[in-house]
Chain A
């Protein structure tokens, strides 16, 4: 276990060393060294622009994530539970799953304008079908014997959902949440790049126009660090807690 933890630490450190060495050897504006990117990161943090943009982007990620998880899970549960609902929404999901993310974003901007609700709806709609499909499979895998046990002891619907159904769904919920986060933050950047005047995506577009690769990488790095921090501090402890009963 200790060896595995060391490897986990060693791997990104090695990547940084590799990056720094290669950049110094190439000595090109196209690939600034890691040290320069970290200096730029510090500068942007002190100036206050990066924290502000990061907060705005994270707000959008959170809103789109909550919306897609809530609606996607509800739809997936209903589709897994009732065959008629499944048959009705099956084609909708297939369409949504196959429309390119950027097409949905552009269409929503055209139909509803370059505003915040359109941006968040575009991101949520991109993620919703995958969540619904995952949760539908989870609902189908629910142990009928346990549901029957709950029924025989006259457990209320709410108690059954909370104590019998949701624990069985938790692996599917975590899978949907983890995939969702990794997908959503990427789409949020595209949404910001295409039609917002704030956030990390917008800033990346500005630095792209200025050909400032150092600042561009500083913003990307900051966002990756925040998302990784969320994975370590929230997702993994939650998942460990949900799985602590497994022998």
Chain B
């Protein structure tokens, strides 16, 4: 079993590289929280970053998203310019005083039609004029996903986008994400501590150690299992878990 998992551990993604991340170290309050860390993201690839809670995964996303410039390392974008990035934060971070539609219009002042289409697809159209403060947790998460996709990003950063959802709702939300991805394939960094979720969504899985986060291993999800979801993802997650043994403790 371990040999199988290790066999799916190439150093480079199959698709052309969109982003190279090289972080020597990231310190916070006199403490190393990240690095050394070296990985690439392919164009159109979904790379899941999996690690124990609090290991620095969200910090890594903030660095890639340009929200935290205080680190020692480099981000190299393939065509030399920062692409359009849509972010789904761990908490939805909606503006409660704006309606569902207005939350989308805020990030795309001229993109009304694209926003309406997304609202239909994510089953938010009936509540389009409701204030975001009145949405259920599931609706708020779907709206946060719609907001990241409405700007037509080249890269999506997903920070535990399905956390705190019950399993049924999480499956629905994952499906929503995959549907959006199928409409317009793009690169994505998915931060999660859930191996099943990673196996259900990603092309590759980058496993990180506890804080300071360092790579343990990179795994390629077999093409026949990729985005298959359901029991196939669960089997793969179990296979990875067994292969890693003591290397990946905690709640993943």
How far, in whole Å, are A247 and B66 apart by their CA atoms in the complex? 34
**Which 9 A-B pairs rank lowest in CB-CB distance, beginning with the nearest?**
A245-B131, A245-B97, A149-B93, A153-B107, A167-B97, A152-B87, A245-B133, A247-B134, A145-B93
Q: B63-98: which residues lie under 8 A (CB-CB) from chain A?
A: 65-67, 85-87, 89, 91, 93, 95-98
Q: How many chain B residues touch A (Cβ–Cβ < 8 Å)?
A: 21
Say whether B106 faces chain A, with CB atoms less than 8 Å apart: yes
Indicate if the CB atoms of B106 and A159 lie closer than 8 Å.
Answer: yes
A155: CB under 8 A from chain B? yes
Contacts of B65 in A (CB 8 A): 152
Most buried by B among A145, A146, A244, A245: A245
User: When A and B form their complex, what is the total count of cross-chain residue pairs whose Cβ atoms lie within 8 Å?
Assistant: 42
Q: Are B91 and A146 in contact (CB under 8 A)?
A: no
With A146-B93, A245-B97 as given contacts, are A163 and B133 in contact (CB-CB < 8 Å)?
A: no
CB distance from B22 to the nearest CB of A (A): 22
Contact (Cβ within 8 A) B67 A247: no
- Nearest CB on B from A164, distance (A): 7
A residues bordering B, Cβ < 8 Å? 145-146, 148-149, 151-153, 155, 159, 163-164, 167, 244-247
Q: How far is the CB of B136 from chain A (nearest CB, A)?
A: 12
Is B186 among interface residues, defined by CB-CB distance under 8 A? no
Residues of chain B within 8 A (CB-CB) of A164 are 95
Cα distance, A148 to B132, chains bound together (Å):
18
- Once A145-B89, A151-B67 are accepted as A-B contacts, the answer to whether A247 and B106 lie under 8 Å apart by CB is no
Distance in angstroms between the alpha carbons of A151 and B66 in the assembled complex: 9
Residues of chain A within 8 A of B151, CB atoms compared: 153
Residues of A within 8 A of B86 (CB): 153
**Which single residue of chain A is at the shortest CB-CB distance from B90?**
A145
Known contacts A152-B85, A167-B97, A246-B133: does B91 contact A145 (CB below 8 Å)? yes
A167 to B132, CA, bound (A): 14
| Cα(A82)–Cα(B134), bound, Å | 34
- Nearest residue (CB) in A for B66 is A152
Q: What are 27 A-B residue pairs whose CB atoms fall within 8 Å in the complex?
A: A145-B89, A145-B93, A146-B95, A148-B67, A148-B93, A149-B89, A149-B93, A152-B66, A152-B67, A152-B87, A153-B86, A153-B87, A153-B106, A155-B106, A155-B107, A159-B106, A163-B106, A164-B95, A167-B95, A167-B97, A245-B96, A245-B97, A245-B131, A246-B133, A247-B131, A247-B133, A247-B134
